[in-house]
């Protein structure tokens, strides 16, 4: 059985705890948080602590904390030569203190408090400096039924950039669409089937092949009509920028 200590108590740590707790191959032996009140709810299930000097020995320490805190927290750990992994998409493996056996266990997914998620649909990007540690991280991912990929730091950081486009930027476009429909008292729910169909389409088609719309067709009349309808200058600029990007991709300029 793999023994795990969790460090941090944010969304990622909470989702990891739920997944690890359900695995018959993993034991969360301790959960550390600087604010003990954040983990009080599990004190009957595992040991909790807000003191680094009381950390128990484990096979792997999962550090699910803010990116800016990773290096400092790893340097404060009161031991050496134990496997410590961070869960960040953008922080390098060498940002962890060199006294440790270093690794990465990055779940490429968006996590929201109180929204359950199945780790069977969460790709885990793993990295380690030692071969035996890589094997352990693969086994850990398999124990929560998560697909796993051996991804180095540069690849992971590139993935993180791509994830911002498909998740954060896409969600901002949803928000803008919501604002546009609200302004005319149109229910945003009318757009939801289109959002789902667009996302599902790339299960069978490349994003390039799945592209439709006036920009791809170079439908100048429709594009001009849309720009006239948009009342917010920021929305107009974004529409024009994305339109030009699509036209360039599909040879329309």
Class of domain 2-151: alpha beta
Q: Which tens digits make up the pLDDT trace of 35-93? A: 998 988 888 999 999 999 999 999 999 999 999 999 999 999 999 999 999 999 999 99
Confidence (pLDDT) at 115? 82
Q: Is the pTM of this model over 0.85?
A: yes
Domain range 156-249, CATH architecture: Orthogonal Bundle (1.10)
Q: Which tens digits make up the pLDDT trace of 212-223? A: 999 999 999 999
Structural domain boundaries in the chain: 2-151, 156-249
Confidence (pLDDT) at 112? 81
What is the C-alpha separation between 211 and 167, in angstroms, rounded?
Answer: 18
Examine domains 2-151 and 156-249 and report if their fold is the same. Answer: no
- Output helix, strand, coil percentages for the chain, rounded to the nearest 5: 50, 15, 35
CA-based R_g, the chain, Å: 22
Secondary structure (3-state) at 146: coil
Q: Which tens digits make up the pLDDT trace of 230-243? A: 999 999 999 999 99
Average pLDDT of the chain? 94
Q: In the predicted model, is pLDDT for residue 252 greater than 90?
A: no
Q: In what order do the strands lie in the sheet with 26-32?
A: 47-49, 26-32, 2-7, 60-63, 83-86, 101-107, 124-128, 148-150
Q: Which tens digits make up the pLDDT trace of 147-198? A: 999 999 999 999 999 999 999 999 999 999 999 999 999 999 999 999 999 9
Q: In the predicted model, is pLDDT for residue 253 greater than 70?
A: no
Lowest-confidence region among 53-67, 101-115, 127-141, 154-168:
101-115
Q: Band of the pLDDT at 117, cuts 50, 70, 90?
A: confident
Confidence (pLDDT) at 84? 98
């Amino acid at each position: 059985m793999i023994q795990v200590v969790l460090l941090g108590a944010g969304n990622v740590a909470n989702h990891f705890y739920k997944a690890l707790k359900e695995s018959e191959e993993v034991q969360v032996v301790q959960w550390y948080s600087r604010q003990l009140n954040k983990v009080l709810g599990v004190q009957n299930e595992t040991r909790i602590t807000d003191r680094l000097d009381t950390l128990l020995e484990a096979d792997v320490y999962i550090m699910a904390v803010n990116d800016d805190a990773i290096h400092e927290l790893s340097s404060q750990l009161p031991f050496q030569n134990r496997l410590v992994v961070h869960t960040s998409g953008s922080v390098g493996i060498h940002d962890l203190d060199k006294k440790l056996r270093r690794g990465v266990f990055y779940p490429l997914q968006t996590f929201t408090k109180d929204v359950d998620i199945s780790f069977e649909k969460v790709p885990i990007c793993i990295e380690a400096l030692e071969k035996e540690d890589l094997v352990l991280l693969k086994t850990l991912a398999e124990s929560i039924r998560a697909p796993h990929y051996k991804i180095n730091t540069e690849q992971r950081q590139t993935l993180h950039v791509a994830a911002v486009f498909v998740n954060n930027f896409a969600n901002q476009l949803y928000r803008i669409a919501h604002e546009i429909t609200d302004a005319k008292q149109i229910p945003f729910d009318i757009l939801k089937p289109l959002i789902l169909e667009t996302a599902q389409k790339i299960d069978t088609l490349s994003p390039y092949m799945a592209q439709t719309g006036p920009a791809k067709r170079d439908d100048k009349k429709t594009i001009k009509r849309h720009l006239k309808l948009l009342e917010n200058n920021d929305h107009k600029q974004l529409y024009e920028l994305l339109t030009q990007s699509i036209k360039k991709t599909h040879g329309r300029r």
